[in-house]
Structure 1
């Protein structure tokens, strides 16, 4: 008999990529959207978990957004994400669910380190102010997983810390989109309107590490298959980064636009660099397969289909 797997955040990019991955075929999957299960409601979460009795849980839900959304809504990013994480972990413990894969964020790392971010660096310094609320919520959930294992050693609760993600089912709304989704939308619009320039926030020299969401979905599902092979906290990334300007240039080449980049120095840019150390991931034996060019090409195709609907 196939085991039951519960994936939170069913409408999100990470969950949507997992739901279409062939590794999921061996599971009976439940993946409620926020309208079906409000993860902020502890009673609703506990009742749902007790009723469905999953063998394993992947916590991929979250209120997410780019710099602008984080700056404008810090209370919501802190409160909602903390409530969801606390309720999911508590329900897993109460329902005696032995396996939980918690999806965290590289926002948890201190702002001053920049590169070579190892899992031990978490909580070693001040956070980036533009996404501090979101980061604190993810840290709380990670710590809950660690404390649960400390108290009940039969539990296998693991936290995966991905670099920035992009891909199909990303958000392209101006108020919610992350960097690569925003770049693809801007350059697509510039091409469609024959515009000769696009605006970039800051000087474009900040560096970011991006992984195609379908690759991350594979890593999560492989972790669910044999969680004892991974540590309690593990970075998942590509191990190298590009400047914002380079991402614009790569996207422009893929999309087929040859205009100019105009820098708006009045806009916030966040951390100067955020590059994960993926030593634990490499030791585990996994590495993402999709190149940045192929990933942007697939995401651009998805965006065009989305616009055509």
Structure 2
């Protein structure tokens, strides 16, 4: 197949491209100069010119809790524009197969865990990343409406839990938790710092999956697209406390110092664990353990710029 991967220069996109099953196909991976997703006209022109058989939509403006709090307008508007332009152009041009990647931020903040696919739009969103979540919900619903109006279209959505891995960003101001913790603890080790700060009590629970696992699930979706559910979570099925993530990174890095907690800092949702029952019944489970994923990500971080 000829497969278009949006967001091909990002962490998820790069993990998708290097997956051996996906790599067997002809991959379109346009840069922003080749297809600016914020431009409806550019998106339509690129798709009309190249006519992919399949689209994996992994593009979006992403960032951690600090970036989301600081830039809510951009996280809402930029992602709405990207999703509307890409999905709308595929609909207009008759490109009928897509895997759209959502986010577990789409789920209500107070919904009971584990979060099942039917809980989307069933309650208030987490305020710290509400704009991003709204844009992702819009994309999933647009895919649903298109399939409802014309059953020849198959625009399916995978909802991954939090991700980390090779090709991640490690800037503490904009990165997600695990890469930020890897950098923070590694720098503490190198600089001989006796303490590392954790935001909040560290008791909030999170589910972080290695990005290569998501690529593996998407690859199975390509091969078994007819049986792939219309909306499906992709996750570990287990979660860990923030304190446990810090401890796991410290063990991999070799840091022996202690942790202190800043209770004045925001922590987001108390728990965010997706249900993996549907994915498991479809025949997929994650494979990479937490320590193994951290080791792979640390190795990538230590080799940046080499």
Q: Report TM bin, short chain.
A: over 0.9
Residue in 1 that maps onto 2:54: 56
Decide which of 166, 172, 178 is 2:170's aligned counterpart: 172
| Secondary structure of 1:229 counterpart | coil
- Structure 2 CA distance for aligned equivalents of residues 151 and 79 of structure 1: 26
Q: How far apart are residue 26 of structure 1 and its match?
A: 2.5
Q: How far apart are residue 10 of structure 1 and its match?
A: 1.2
Could you list the runs of 4 or more consecutive aligned residues of structure 1 that deviate by over 3 angstroms after TM superposition? Answer: none
Aligned length: 306
Give CA deviations for 1:207-231 in whole Å, capped at 9, x if unaligned: 0001100111111121122212121
- Structure 2 CA distance for aligned equivalents of residues 74 and 284 of structure 1: 36
Give CA deviations for 1:52-105 in whole Å, capped at 9, x if unaligned: 000000000010000000000000000000111111111111111110100000
Aligned pairs for 1:76-91 (under 5 A) are 76-91=74-89
Give 5+ residue unaligned stretches, structure 1. none
Residue in 2 that maps onto 1:258: 256
- Structure 2 CA distance for aligned equivalents of residues 20 and 74 of structure 1: 32
Aligned pairs for 1:96-245 (under 5 A) are 96-245=94-243
- Structure 2 CA distance for aligned equivalents of residues 129 and 139 of structure 1: 15
* Farther-moved stretch of structure 1 (19-28 vs 264-273): 19-28
* Farther-moved stretch of structure 1 (107-116 vs 79-88): 107-116
CA RMSD, Structure 1 to Structure 2 (Å) = 0.9
Residue in 1 that maps onto 2:289: 291
Decide which of 39, 42, 54 is 1:41's aligned counterpart: 39
Give 5+ residue unaligned stretches, structure 2. none
- Structure 2 CA distance for aligned equivalents of residues 237 and 163 of structure 1: 5
Give CA deviations for 1:98-140 in whole Å, capped at 9, x if unaligned: 1010000000000002511011000000000000000000000
| Secondary structure of 2:167 counterpart | coil
- Structure 1 CA distance for aligned equivalents of residues 227 and 93 of structure 2: 24
Residue 54 of structure 2 is aligned to residue 24 of structure 1? no
Q: How far apart are residue 43 of structure 1 and its match?
A: 0.5
| Secondary structure of 2:226 counterpart | helix
Decide which of 50, 65, 71 is 2:63's aligned counterpart: 65
- Structure 2 CA distance for aligned equivalents of residues 250 and 187 of structure 1: 11
Q: Is the 8 A contact 2:208 2:239 kept in 1?
A: yes
- Structure 1 CA distance for aligned equivalents of residues 262 and 229 of structure 2: 42
TM-score by length of 1: 0.97
Decide which of 277, 280, 283 is 2:278's aligned counterpart: 280
Residue in 2 that maps onto 1:5: 3
Q: How far apart are residue 266 of structure 1 and its match?
A: 1.1
- Structure 2 CA distance for aligned equivalents of residues 83 and 114 of structure 1: 31
| Secondary structure of 2:156 counterpart | strand
Q: Is the 8 A contact 2:206 2:272 kept in 1?
A: yes
Q: How far apart are residue 25 of structure 1 and its match?
A: 3.0
Q: How far apart are residue 195 of structure 1 and its match?
A: 0.8
* Farther-moved stretch of structure 1 (294-303 vs 221-230): 221-230
Q: How far apart are residue 33 of structure 1 and its match?
A: 2.5
Q: Is the 8 A contact 2:61 2:75 kept in 1?
A: yes
TM-score by length of 2: 0.98
| Secondary structure of 2:155 counterpart | strand
